[in-house]
Structure 1
Amino acid sequence: MSFKKIIQKSKDTQGSLEITGSKSESNRALILSALFKNLSLKNISNSDDANVLQRALLPSSPVIDIHHAGTAMRFLTAYFAVQEGTEVILTGSSRMKERPIKILVDALRSLGANISYLEQEGYPPLKIKGKNITTSKVELSANVSSQYVTALMLIAPSLPQGLEISLLQQITSMPYIEMTLKLLRQIGVKANLIENKITVPHTNTIESQTFIIESDWSSASYFYSIAALSSSADIILSNYKADSLQGDSVLSIYYKHFGVETSFDYRNKRVRLIKKADFRLQRNNAKVDIQLNLVDSPDIAQTIAVTCLGLRISCRLTGLHTLKIKETDRLVALKTEMEKLGAAVDITKDQLTLHRVSNLRKDITIETYNDHRMAMAFAPMALKIPIQINDANVVSKSYPDFWNDLKKLGFQYAEDE
């Protein structure tokens, strides 16, 4: 499905939505439910990534293709490494074969795992022969991807001696590691993080229970952007909580810069986004209007950058080194597509600076580079200019209902035949 044009005629946005379960929580919980058979899950994400992971955990073939699902690749590498007697090949898309996994494989090999590369050293596809692992200590760099750390944490309870993980260098995306810790504790695994050391004890059994997955805060970011770019907005999102496990819940703080206030309905687990019609952005005399360090929440960087572009304000976003190894090099992709709209953008290996733009170019086609977040981050720009999003069905990776939910808020679009 490819949209010729997205238009939002009304600049006042109102509506109520229920977003699918968090992809991040779902993927973690799915691995844990495979390890602990008496753990039931509700509100699992309907994203491609979660569906791919569910199918992979019940493989019908020794060759498992996870397509573009980077989280699944990392979590499954660790999971199958400890499934004694199993032998699988983990592969994926051409882009997946360019995404490094050496740090995780090296860590697993140091524990005794049997993993080999079938093509390029350090990259998928992988051949994994599951075995009983008794080593209980491991070190790995924590400054590249928190998913490497989480992959080890998730399998740790199943190891005979548990696992002690020593994290080297500065930890990136810390809220995602904390999410994993809290998930483990909620189901009854006594995991701890003290300074740079994570300890997860062997846990043979847990109490039978049902874990309800919260809706996805990364997906909520697009509605924060819509609220910010609207003249006024009143948007209610269901199945959210103030004490979220998800790091991207920091949206409620960041979007105050753009006039979006967040209130929580604790009883009904709903969040309400209000953009007051009389809000005026307070510009300052600094070189940039907005400066944020997103090292702990890189998945919302694209959304925030496009919000600033739509409001024609400048920003400097730092802590973005992980964006270069995502579905695409997101820093390069952002620069390319934002400059089509008339922006001036500077990027380094870990930051993006957007300069103020006086006018936005209309009827521009945005390429998505097989990246779901590129499509969803740019869609709210329709509140400012007619815009086309190519390969719009890429949103199914994390949020298949995205375009239908935009319709509920009054967005209109025409599809290519």
Structure 2
Amino acid sequence: MNILPPALPLKGKINLPASKSISNRLLIMQYLSNSRIRINNLSKADDTVLMRHLLKKVKANIDTGNSENVCLLNCENAGTVLRFLLALLSSQSGKWLLTGSERMKQRPVGSLVRALKTLGANIEYDDLQGFPPVKISGKNLTGNSVTIDASQSSQYITALMMIAPILEKGLTIRLENEIASQPYIEMTKTLMIKAGIDIKTEGRNILISRGSYKSGVYYVEPDWSAASYWYEAVALTPGSEIMLDDLSGDSVQGDAILINIFNALGVKTRQTDNGIVIQNINKAVQDFEFDFTNYPDLAPAVAATCTALNIEARLNGLKNLKIKESNRFEALHKELSFLNPGIDIINDEYLFIPKQKTPVKTKRLHFRTYHDHRMAMAFAPLASVIGEISIEDPKVVSKSYPGFWEEFQRSGFKVRDKFQATPS
């Protein structure tokens, strides 16, 4: 896909997708509530569609009493889906084989498997130790307490939290090491409390009592992670002002921190009754530093913005980007280096973007996406600064934001047939 810069500043109203993080949590809770939970505005993202499909397959397998035959569940490259189902199926009667794409087979699950085995789960690796595929013989788990490394993925902790109420003794989860993506743990806690679950936090311990998910109706908020690409687009396009429809700063999503991040990068945020208005005020800082340990999904858009605006930046807390849909750490380094050759990875932990005395003048650049939705969406707004660019594999955005390209064109960017460009 080829993208041309907008002829005028970006204007209008943007429709964001429903949060897939909230949607996928609610689908697990809905399953455990025996469908007493109703969900409005469920995400249409590929990951959520897949989660819903696989949960229906699980229910059908259990309802037919088919507990002796192995039920194959392909989670493709959806880490959230595989990790949440790994915990759920450990507690559900039946024999299960969880697998995924080749990239999924490179994404670790060892910490979660060890924690579940502590609770009595019967799990075996089908190939490489610590990685999918995994075989599960589901059964009732007793619960009590478990210790888990919290530094790798908050999804492990969320997966344990959501099954905790159905365990005979409830569950105390003890968190070791630095906690990654803590706002996502808080999101899970907030949703579970709303559903009537008793949860307490004592220091680094999460205490969850045995209980039942109550009936209720949930509305899924627009996705703040998806908003990051619009903040980037506005930051890179002088004079732009757009509304992000139905979005609110009062959110269970930690990624609402975007308001503060992009205030430093020259974008003003104003809350209205109908959503959030973001405006380019042309007052970006010249030096920027931020720790993304709790907000990893925002790193691609921020890294691209700082590079394009020639802002010296130190982006910390990025080590877990290596185990996402792609190795995002390396992908950002490699692709953005064509705009700023001085970009460097420091101590395998943070990205340093130096200020260039003479910014590189690049035309008709081809960006690889590494089959990663966030790479495609983070690179697209760079057309405002570079001129015409090419994006590889644009369909990957459907993983989280199926309507992205339609909204992108409506905002003022132009898309046309491919030109011949030398891959970066």
Aligned to 1:136: 144
User: In the alignment, what sits opposite 1:184?
Assistant: 192
Match of 2:219 in 1: 212
Does the 8 A contact of 2:147 with 2:175 survive in 1?
Answer: yes
- Please state if 1:259 is matched with 2:266: yes
The question of whether the paired residues in 2 share the 8 Å contact of 1:363 and 1:388 is answered with yes
**Structure 1 match to 2:67:** none
Which moved further from structure 2: 61-70 or 110-119?
61-70
1:57, CA displacement in angstroms? 0.5
Which residue of the partner structure matches residue 40 of structure 1?
Answer: 38
Distance 2:199 2:167 in 1: 13
The residue matched to 2:124 in structure 1 has which SS?
strand
1:74 is the counterpart of 2:67: no
**AA at the equivalent of 1:272:** V
Structure 2 counterpart of 1:381, one-letter code: L
- 1:39 partner amino acid: I
Once the two structures are TM-superposed, the CA of residue 21 in structure 1 deviates from its matched residue by 0.7
| Superposition deviation, residue 200 in structure 1 | 1.1
Distance 1:14 1:68, change over 3 A: same
State the one-letter code of the partner of 1:142: A
**1:387 maps to what in 2?**
389
Aligned mates of 2:90, 2:417 — CA distance in 1: 44
SS in 2 for 1:124: coil
Following the alignment from structure 2 to structure 1, what is the Cα–Cα distance between the partners of residues 247 and 211?
30
Matches within 5 A, 1:177-326: 177-206=185-214, 208-265=215-272, 267-268=273-274, 270-276=275-281, 279-283=282-286, 289-326=287-324
Deviates more, 1:184-193 or 1:376-385: 184-193
Higher mean C-alpha displacement, 60-69 vs 154-163: 60-69
- Amino acid in structure 1 at the alignment position of 2:319: H
Structure 1 letter corresponding to 2:416: A
Of 10, 15, 23 in structure 1, the residue corresponding to residue 12 of structure 2 is 15
1:113: which partner in 2?
A: 121
Q: For residue 217 of structure 2, what is the amino acid of its counterpart? A: T
In 2, distance between residues paired with 1:282 and 1:163? 46
Partner of 2:161, secondary structure, is helix
Output the CA distance in 1 between the equivalents of 2:111 and 2:355: 39
Deviation at 1:202, TM superposition (A): 1.0
Q: CA deviation at 1:282?
A: 4.2
8 Å Cα contact 2:197-2:213 kept in structure 1:
no
Q: Residues 282 and 374 of structure 1: is their aligned pair in 2 closer, same or farther, counting only changes over 3 Å?
A: closer
TM-score (norm 2): 0.92
Whichever residue aligns with residue 229 of structure 2, its letter is Y
- How many angstroms apart in 2 are the aligned matches of 1:205 and 1:260? 41
The separation in 1 between residues aligned to 2:242 and 2:162, in whole angstroms, is 35
Using a 3 Å threshold, how does the CA distance of structure 1 residues 258 and 201 change in structure 2: closer, same or farther?
same
Please give the alpha-carbon distance, in whole angstroms, between the structure 1 residues aligned to 2:213 and 2:238: 53
**2:405 pairs with one of 403, 406, 414:** 403
Q: Distance in 1 between matches of 2:285 and 2:109?
A: 44
Deviations 1:230-256 (A, max 9, x none): 111211112222221111100001000
| Offset at residue 205 of structure 1 (A) | 4.6
**What residue number does 1:95 align with?**
103
SS in 2 for 1:41: strand
Deviations 1:314-363 (A, max 9, x none): 21100111101111111111111011234321113221011123124111
> Letter of the aligned partner of 2:260 in structure 1?
I
When normalised by structure 1's length, the TM-score is: 0.94
Aligned to 1:359: 360
| 3-state SS in 1 of match to 2:12 | strand
Contact kept? 2:317, 2:350, Cα under 8 Å: yes
Partner in structure 1 of residue 64 of structure 2: none
1:164 aligns with 2:172: yes
The answer to whether the 8 A contact 1:73-1:90 is kept is yes
Paired residue secondary structure (1:50): helix
Shift of 1:58: 1.2
CA RMSD of aligned residues (A): 1.4
CA distance in 2, matches of 1:395, 1:262: 25
CA separation in 1, counterparts of 2:322 and 2:371?
A: 14
Pick aligned residue for 2:72 from 43, 58, 63: 63
Q: May I ask how many residue pairs the two structures share in their alignment?
A: 403
**Contact 1:20 1:44 survives alignment (8 Å):** no
- Alignment partner of 2:218: what SS? strand
Say whether the 8 Å CA contact 1:95–1:327 is kept in structure 2. yes
Secondary structure (helix, strand or coil) at the match of 2:193 reads: helix
- 1:249 & 1:181 partners in 2: Cα distance? 17
Note the residue ranges of structure 2 that are not aligned, 5 or more in a row. 62-70, 420-424
The one-letter amino acid paired with 2:258 is: L
Instruction: Give, as a single letter, the amino acid of the residue that structure 1 aligns with 2:241.
Output: D
- In the TM superposition, what whole-angstrom CA distance separates every residue of 1:79-131 from its partner, at most 9, and x where no partner exists? 11111x22111100001001110000000001001111101111000111110
Letter aligned with residue 179 of structure 1: M
SS class of match (1:58): helix
Instruction: Please say if residues 308 and 339 of structure 2, whose CA atoms lie closer than 8 Å, have aligned partners that are also in contact.
Output: no
